[in-house]
């Protein structure tokens, strides 16, 4: 159910996946994956209907704990849902792009 950062980047480049970042506002503001959508974990269930069911969704957090919980819940609800393995730390470690370009991965 976890997807590696390089694979997520390729899927995103092809437009074959939607990325949903479930981190807190300050984490999102520090640095995020370009093109990702921000829906904090606390608002996720209320906004579930706004996430397309016909496109796989990859949830993103700092290290993978929160995104794994989100992916499990959405899989149970019938979504094709995954978690970014290693989270934003893995994404940044692979040298993949951040928004803003000088962005960082914030602490929890």
Q: Which domains does the chain have, with CATH numbers?
A: 2-93 (3.40.250.10)
Can you give the pTM of this predicted structure?
Answer: 0.96
What percentage of residues in the chain have a pLDDT greater than 70? 100
From the CB of residue 41, how many other CB atoms can be counted at a distance below 10 Å?
Answer: 16
- Point out the residues that are catalytic: 61
> How far apart (Å, rounded) are the C-alpha atoms in residues 28 and 90?
16
Q: Binning pLDDT at 50, 70 and 90, where does residue 23 land?
A: very high
Residue of 57, 63, 70 whose CA lies nearest to 85: 63
Mean pLDDT score, 18-25:
97
pLDDT of residue 11: 97
pLDDT 10s digits, 36-47: 999 999 999 999
pLDDT 10s digits, 57-86: 999 999 999 999 999 999 999 999 999 999
pLDDT 10s digits, 48-64: 999 999 999 999 999 99
Q: Binning pLDDT at 50, 70 and 90, where does residue 1 land?
A: confident
Which class for 70: exposed (0-12), middle (13-18), buried (19 or more C-beta within 10 A)? buried
């Amino acid at each position: 159910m976890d997807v590696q950062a390089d694979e997520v980047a390729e899927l995103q480049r092809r437009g074959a996946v939607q990325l949903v970042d479930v981190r807190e506002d300050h984490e999102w503001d520090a640095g995020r994956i370009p093109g990702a959508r921000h829906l904090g974990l606390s608002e996720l269930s209320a906004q579930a209907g706004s996430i397309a069911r016909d496109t796989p969704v990859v949830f993103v957090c700092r290290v993978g704990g929160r995104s794994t919980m989100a992916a499990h819940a959405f899989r149970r609800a019938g979504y094709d849902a995954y978690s970014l393995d290693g989270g934003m730390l893995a994404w940044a470690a692979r040298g993949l792009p951040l928004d803003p370009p000088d962005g960082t991965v914030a602490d929890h």
